[in-house]
Chain A
Amino acid sequence: MDRPQRVPAVLAVPAAVGFAFLLLPLLALLIRTPWRGLGRLLASTSGLTALRLSLECATAATGLSLLLGVPLAWVLARVRLPGIALLRSVVLLPLVLPPVVGGLALLLALGRNGVFGRYGYAAFGYSLPFTTGGVVVAETFVAMPFLVVTVEGAIRSADRELEEAAATLGANRAQVFRRVTLPLIGPSVLAGAVLCWARALGEFGATITFAGSFPGTTQTMPLAVYNALQTDPEPAVALSLVLLLVAVLVLAALRDQWLRPGGLR
């Protein structure tokens, strides 16, 4: 057993400052929350609309990310091809790209006059930007890499030996993936999905650039918070509180992945 370590002051002081730095703003949010009128503020039509839109869009984006991201993760983890590193960089780029740049790129690609979007518009008269669909696309663009990274790591460390065993028992590749690989990486897929969902829920920059901020169709919670702040801070604080609560729930859901010592490997 390790003895509990004494923390040297040279580490303890900055650590305490860092902790306070992260905690105090959240504390301020709680202190300034208009608890008395909270119910009324949240129940206001615009607040509820934004909340529902946020939940729907984040969930749709997560679904889309699962559908595309899990196979993508498998390819990145398993396919041995020259250029796969380049492919991975492309997939991971949105993690570090400023979201507003992502939104602009989406606009240039899928906009009504966009490089690819113009054909869709010409054919169907439909264009993604400034629609609820646009919100989902923007959120997926930003959030999917979180899922891919998590799942790719899991597939990499998944037991190849079990997959071989499944093959000798007559399972083809699709069956091996569905009945062995996927159940084995299930917890990681779930963690990636939660992470992806949380990221999508908080998405601001790409969404406002690509989809705008129209109440009812594209104005999600973060946009509503920002919008409310321009005129009346109270609803903004109330909405922020809801987002904080969601974040706490996400953390609780991921506790096995993150909160144990040595987590987030």
Chain B
Amino acid sequence: MTGPRPDGQRFNGQRFDGQRFDGLRFDGTVRRGSFTLRAGFSLAGGEVLGVLGPNGAGKSTLLRTLAGLAGLATGRIELAGRPLDEPATGEFQPPERRPVGLVFQNYRLFPHLTVRDNVAFAGRSRGLPSRAARLAADGWLDRFGLTELAGQKPAQLSGGQAQRVALARALAAEPALLLLDEPMAALDVHTRLQVRTELSRQLAGFTGPTLLVSHDPLEALVLADRLLVLEQGRVVQDAPAAEVARRPATQYVARLVGLNLYPGRAVAGADPTEVRLDGGGSLVGLPVEQPVDAGRRMLVTVPPSAIVLHAARPAGMSARNVWPGRVAGLEPLVDRVRVRVDGAPSALVDITPAALAELSLGEGTGVWLSVKATEVACYPDQPGD
């Protein structure tokens, strides 16, 4: 990704400081029936923010609010120094007056218009005569490799082509903010990889801030500089993509990035740190930052591949990070088997098929688990607002 890449810290500030800021600032609440979304974040030009979260977390609500298809209940949205929505002052720019491009999940191409006229739509809306709008559209079609499809109707396009048309159509409006709602969700797995690469290239050419909603962590990690994780209408994590992958703040994110995550409390005077886990048991690991105060709320992650299963209590190992469990389930992965083990703590463990055979594991089999302290990461739990 090109463009300025501000470090996460600087733009994680949730308050407005009154200075002119050439990006997006969102701080407010949105209500939809009994659901409330509350979020605060800033986004600089050229930065791609991936918005992750389970279904119903408020991802689409956030996009709709930014696009003006829904309104804030309280707070303020500001884009390039101009307020878009601020209930307190009665300021509300309707969608057609916002320089915001939205690529919908199902693309929403106009079925009665050709590809060219779809891309020319924004120009026509600005009042350009049809010839001028089409000329402008041709430039975008060229840039997106769609020239040959110019005369086709959306129904004739493949999923990947429709996705490109939708993006070209949105960018042709020359938005200051680009919103992508699960851009890959409507594509089959085969097309996804190719489109993702292409999308990443196309996004690089956009100078404004970009918000990309996804529930595919890989997609978000590849395309986004920073991730905002929403759960139940709240921001639970807002950090650079790599940090989210390494230090997930919630079980949801941990599952997405494939880590065992345990909340707990640091035990006094331990180095490496021992954390007493809320769900029972304790783990000793390396703290990400020193020193760790006793009693501090901590999160502990363990990669499933770092845990070793034994048929009996392993001899010759220190008592640290060794605990008994019982197999609760087996799930084949590509070249491994994921074993669900109940214990204190319960864990997902990835083993090779050979190890599975050797241990003759089945549901209910008693096992011992062990993990090296160097594979256990501990970091302070910072609950979102």
Q: Which residues of B contact A162 (CB under 8 A)?
A: 108, 110-111
- Which residues of chain A come closer than 8 Å to B108, judged between CB atoms? 161-162, 164-165
Closest to A180 in B: B110
B125 close to A169 (CB less than 8 A): yes
A243 at the interface (CB under 8 A from B): no
Q: Interface digits, B122-140 against A, CB 8 Å rule (1 contact, 0 not)?
A: 1011100000000000000
Contacts of A165 in B (CB 8 A): 102, 104, 108, 110
Q: How far is the CA of A54 from the CA of B101 in the complex (A)?
A: 52
Report whether over half of chain A's contact residues are helix, strand or loop; otherwise say mixed.
helix
Partner-binding segment picked from A80-88, A143-151, A171-179? A171-179
Name the interface residues of B145-185: CB closer than 8 Å to any CB of A.
Answer: 169-170, 173
Confirm or deny: B295 has a beta carbon within 8 angstroms of a beta carbon on chain A.
Answer: no
Check B100 for interface membership: any CB of A closer than 8 A.
yes
Chain B: residues with Cβ within 8 Å of the partner, total of 25
A186–B68 alpha-carbon span in the complex (Å): 28
Contacts of A183 in B (CB 8 A): 112
Query: What CA separation (Å) do A186 and B113 show in the bound complex?
Result: 13
Give 25 CB contacts A-B under 8 Å: A161-B104, A164-B69, A165-B104, A166-B121, A167-B69, A167-B95, A168-B67, A168-B69, A168-B95, A168-B98, A168-B100, A169-B170, A170-B96, A170-B97, A170-B122, A170-B125, A170-B126, A170-B173, A171-B121, A175-B124, A175-B125, A179-B121, A180-B110, A183-B112, A184-B111
Contact residues in A for B106 (Cβ distance below 8 Å): 161
Bound-state CA distance A165–B122 (Å) is 10
The residues of A that contact B124 with a CB separation of less than 8 Å are 175, 179
Per CB-CB distance, the 4 closest pairs between chain A and chain B, nearest first, are A170-B125, A165-B108, A167-B95, A171-B125
Residue B94 CB within 8 A of the other chain: yes
Task: Report which residue of B97, B101, B112, B169 has the largest number of chain A beta carbons within 10 angstroms of its beta carbon.
Answer: B112
Looking at the assembled complex, report how far the CB atom of A186 sits from the nearest CB atom of chain B, in whole angstroms.
8
Residues of A contacting B100 with CB < 8 Å? Answer: 168
* Chain B residue at minimal CB-CB distance from A183: B112
The residue in chain B whose Cβ has the minimal distance to the Cβ of A175 is: B125
Q: Which of B68, B94, B125, B169 has the most CB of A within 10 A?
A: B125
Q: Which residue of A lies closest to B175 (CB)?
A: A168
A177-236: which residues lie under 8 A (CB-CB) from chain B?
179-180, 183-184, 186
Q: Report chain A residues within 8 Å CB of B112.
A: 183-184, 186
The residue in chain B whose Cβ has the minimal distance to the Cβ of A165 is B108
Assembled-state Cα–Cα distance A184/B104 (Å) = 19
- B104 and A169 form a contact (CB under 8 A): no
Q: Give the CA-CA distance A2 to B67 in the complex, in Å.
A: 47
**Once bound together, how far apart are the Cα atoms of A142 and B347, in whole Å?**
74
Q: How far is the CA of A179 from the CA of B122 in the complex (A)?
A: 11
Q: Which of A164, A175, A180, A186 is within 8 Å of B95, CB to CB?
A: A164
Q: Which residue of B lies closest to A163 (CB)?
A: B108
CB < 8 Å neighbour of A168 from B102, B110, B111: B102
In the assembled complex, which residues on chain A have CB atoms less than 8 Å from the CB atom of B121?
Answer: 166, 169, 171, 179
Considering the complex, give the chain B residue whose CB is closest to the CB of A176: B96
Q: Per-position contact with A for B67-104: 1 when CB-CB < 8 Å, else 0? A: 11100000000000000000000000011111011101
Q: Which residues does chain B contribute within 8 Å of A166, judged by CB atoms?
A: 110, 121, 125
Closest to A179 in B: B124
Chain A residues with CB below 8 A from B173, complex form: 168-170
Bound Cα distance from A201 to B101, whole angstroms: 49
Cα separation A162 to B122 with both chains bound (whole Å): 13
Q: What chain B residues lie within 8 Å of A184 (beta carbons)?
A: 111-112
- Cα A179 to Cα B125 with chains together (Å): 9
Q: Which residue of the partner chain, among B68, B96, B102, B104, contacts A171 with CB atoms under 8 Å?
A: B96
Collect the chain B residues with CB atoms within 8 Å of residue A169's CB: 96, 101, 121-122, 125, 169-170, 173
Looking across the interface, which residue of chain A has its beta carbon closest to that of B172? A169
Proximity bits, B24-67, A CB within 8 Å = 1, else 0: 00000000000000000000000000000000000000000001
| A172 cross-chain contacts in B, Cβ below 8 A | 96, 125
**Complex CA distance for A167 and B70, rounded to whole angstroms:** 12
Bound form: Cα–Cα A47–B164 in Å: 61
Q: Which residue of A lies closest to B179 (CB)?
A: A168
9 additional A-B residue pairs with CB within 8 Å, beyond A166-B110, A168-B68, A171-B96? A162-B110, A166-B121, A167-B68, A167-B95, A169-B125, A170-B122, A171-B125, A180-B110, A184-B111
A64 to chain B, nearest CB (A): 27
Is the beta-carbon distance between B96 and A167 smaller than 8 angstroms?
yes
**A9: shortest Cβ distance to chain B, in Å?**
46
B102 partner residues in chain A, CB cutoff 8 A: 165, 168
B167 to A: closest C-beta gap in Å:
13
How many angstroms from the CA of A180 to the CA of B126 in the assembled complex?
Answer: 15
Would you give the shortest CB distance from B164 to chain A, in whole angstroms?
Answer: 16
A167–B68 CA distance with the chains assembled, in angstroms: 9
Question: Within 8 Å CB of A179, what residues of B?
Answer: 121, 124-125
- For A164, the chain B residues whose CB sits under 8 A away are 69, 95, 108
